[in-house]
Amino acid sequence: MNVDQQNQLRSSNIHPADDEISLYDLFDVLVRKKYIILGITLLVSLAAIIYSLQLTRIYNAEIYFRPPTINDIQGLNISSLAGVEQGESAGEGLDNGLGIKKILEIDPAKIYSDFLLNLQSRQLRFQVFEKVFPESGELESEKRNAFNSLNRSLVFYGAGDKKKEVVHEYLSLQGSDNEKIASYLNVLASTVNDYTVDAVLSDLEIKKGVAISNLKKQVENTLKSAQLGRHDEIERLTEQDNLQRNEILAQIEALRNKAREERMAEIARLDNGDNLRRDEIREKIEILLGQAEVRRNDKIKELEEAIEVAKQAGIIDRTSLNTSFGLDAKHQGNIEIKTEVNPQHLPLYMMGEITLNAELQSLKNRKNDEFFIPGLRDLQKQLIELEKNDVIAALKGRTNDDPYIAELPDLLQKLKLLEDNRKIAQLKNRKDDTPFLPEVRRMEKEVRMLESIKYDKQLVKAAIVDQPAFVPTSPIKPNRKKFVLKALVAGVMLGVFSAFIFSFADSYAEQKKINE
């Protein structure tokens, strides 16, 4: 029996009849099969080394965030208010029950909360994915699959995570392209920040628009109410003026009636006085006319008697006086006769029959003695003046007694003031009630202030990047040393297991030969 057969025989006796295992025999098997163990170990290790070299390197990039401060969102606060008086703080006096002041108050925690919520938006993540990984595939399905793979590697850790002991929120992304995963995280943070800021600004614009609309409606309603109040005031003042006007018109009418009655009474008084005076003058005229007629008749009688005497005396005219006194024509030239007529002493018949007849005929033919009555024309003139009394004519011809009513100018002035009521005229001519409504001016000022609000997006940060994503230089996977070490251990174990298998096979074959 050679050495190999002896060894096989010994190996066949590894398990004696009592099934006890000898550590020596096990060690002996390992020694005898050392080349198998070493070969399998080397083979597995070599395969592990080759495999680990072919594995894709996986890098991990992280970006950390922290909440913004008031200074970080100052662009959302009022940065420019056109028309705000110097020294007036932004938003002062804008709380009028519409919550306008709340529009100007921005909560950093709310913006940061929106940012974190938008950070987990698949839509935003996919948009950034298309920018950073344009070569992910031409088909939509390929892009979606690649994005889903990346999205599964994108992990968000919130503040307060006890497992990770996270102080601030951060994103972690694993991938084979270290530069792109870092770029993806940074672009994602910037995109989500812009999206959140835009959303906040849009919300603010909507709220501002609603506030402006509500303010304008309030202004419109206030102006309508003021217009109705103005119309009511006009009606009230007009009614009040009408009452006063009616009272004044009644007073004016009473004064005019009184003046008319007084004028008519004065006319009657003057007419009565004139009538009495007229009757007196007419009576005097009649008396004078009667006396003149008596005198004329007496004169006629007297002339008739004188004519009779003249006839008897032969005194035909004045020349007959010479004949009667014995003066002939030849002596007349030498005789200077001076005649002094004295009506009181010269008898009428001395005037001669012709003269007396002429005078008598004249008296008989006289139709009117008025021209020969002294003082008659004055009386007639007085009578004419009484018939044409200027005072009475003026009183009768007066069509308006207003200038002669002392109280009337004041009443007419009051009436004119009522007719030209400046307050009513101002109310009627008022085109805009705004200057008389402080609350409207205040609300319009608030509208102008809200409309002048300008937001500076560049000054707004929805989140602060506490640490941007840097390009990782060391992969987190695979760990080749660990992987090869594990493969080495596995190779040893596999070699030992193979050694026992081969040893068992050899023993089984040897035993079969012996039995044969």
Write out pLDDT tens, residues 265-306.
988 888 888 788 878 888 888 888 888 888 888 888 888 888
DSSP state of 435: G
Instruction: Give me the pLDDT at residue 160, please.
Output: 59
Backbone angles phi, psi at 289, to 5 degrees: -65, -40
Q: Which residues pair with 62 in a beta bridge?
A: 172
pLDDT band of residue 75 (cuts 50, 70, 90) is: low
Indicate whether 140 belongs to any domain. Answer: yes
DSSP string, 96-163: SSS-HHHHH---HHHHHHHHHHHHT-HHHHHHHHHHH-GGG-SSHHHHHHHHHHHHHHEEEE-TT-TT
| Position with higher pLDDT, 185 vs 513 | 185
Indicate whether 361 belongs to any domain. Answer: no
- Nearest CA to 499 out of 44, 42, 46, 32 is that of 32
- Where residue 43 sits, what CATH number does that domain have? 3.30.1890.10
**What is the C-alpha to C-alpha distance for residues 367 and 362, in angstroms, rounded to an integer?**
10
Backbone angles phi, psi at 404, to 5 degrees: -105, 10
Instruction: Give me the pLDDT at residue 187, please.
Output: 93
**What is the C-alpha to C-alpha distance for residues 40 and 34, in angstroms, rounded to an integer?**
10
- 433 vs 90, 223, 225, 367, 429, CA distance in Å? 28, 7, 10, 92, 11
**What is the C-alpha to C-alpha distance for residues 504 and 506, in angstroms, rounded to an integer?**
5
Indicate whether 220 belongs to any domain. Answer: no
Backbone angles phi, psi at 105, to 5 degrees: -100, 115
DSSP state of 346: S
Residue with tokens 């709380």: 95
pLDDT band of residue 320 (cuts 50, 70, 90) is: low
3-class DSSP assignment, residue 325 = coil
What average pLDDT does the segment 145-156 reach? 88
Tokens of 57: 């390197």
Range of weakest confidence among 74-88, 210-224, 242-256, 426-440: 74-88
172 sits in which H/E element: strand 170-175
* Other CB atoms within 10 A of residue 386 CB: 20
Contacts of 515 by beta carbon, 8 Å cutoff, 6+ apart: none
pLDDT band of residue 88 (cuts 50, 70, 90) is: very low
Q: Are 277 and 313 in contact (CB under 8 A)?
A: no
* Other CB atoms within 10 A of residue 480 CB: 16
Indicate whether 469 belongs to any domain. Answer: yes
Instruction: Give me the pLDDT at residue 185, please.
Output: 92
Q: Which residues pair with 60 in a beta bridge?
A: 174
Instruction: Give me the pLDDT at residue 221, please.
Output: 92
Indicate whether 322 belongs to any domain. Answer: no
* Other CB atoms within 10 A of residue 226 CB: 19
**What is the C-alpha to C-alpha distance for residues 25 and 77, in angstroms, rounded to an integer?**
86
Tokens of 153: 């590697």
Has residue 476 got a pLDDT over 80?
Answer: no
Q: How many domains does the chain have?
A: 1
pLDDT of 383-415, one tens digit each? 777 777 777 778 778 888 888 888 888 888 888
**What is the C-alpha to C-alpha distance for residues 409 and 403, in angstroms, rounded to an integer?**
8
196 sits in which H/E element: helix 178-313
Residue with tokens 């995280």: 185
Has residue 436 got a pLDDT over 90?
Answer: no
66 sits in which H/E element: strand 59-66
Indicate whether 155 belongs to any domain. Answer: yes
Has residue 79 got a pLDDT over 80?
Answer: no
Q: pTM for the complete prediction? A: 0.54
3-class DSSP assignment, residue 456 = coil
Kind of pairing, strands 59-66 and 170-175?
Answer: antiparallel
User: What is the domain extent for residue 166?
Assistant: 21-207+448-510
pLDDT of 8-21, one tens digit each? 444 444 444 445 55
Indicate whether 397 belongs to any domain. Answer: no
**CA 259-265-268 angle, 5° bins:** 145
Indicate whether 459 belongs to any domain. Answer: yes
The answer for 400, left when phi > 0, alpha when psi is -120 to 50, beta otherwise, is beta
Q: Are 23 and 48 in contact (CB under 8 A)?
A: no
H-state helical runs in 389-459:
390-397, 408-419, 422-429, 438-451
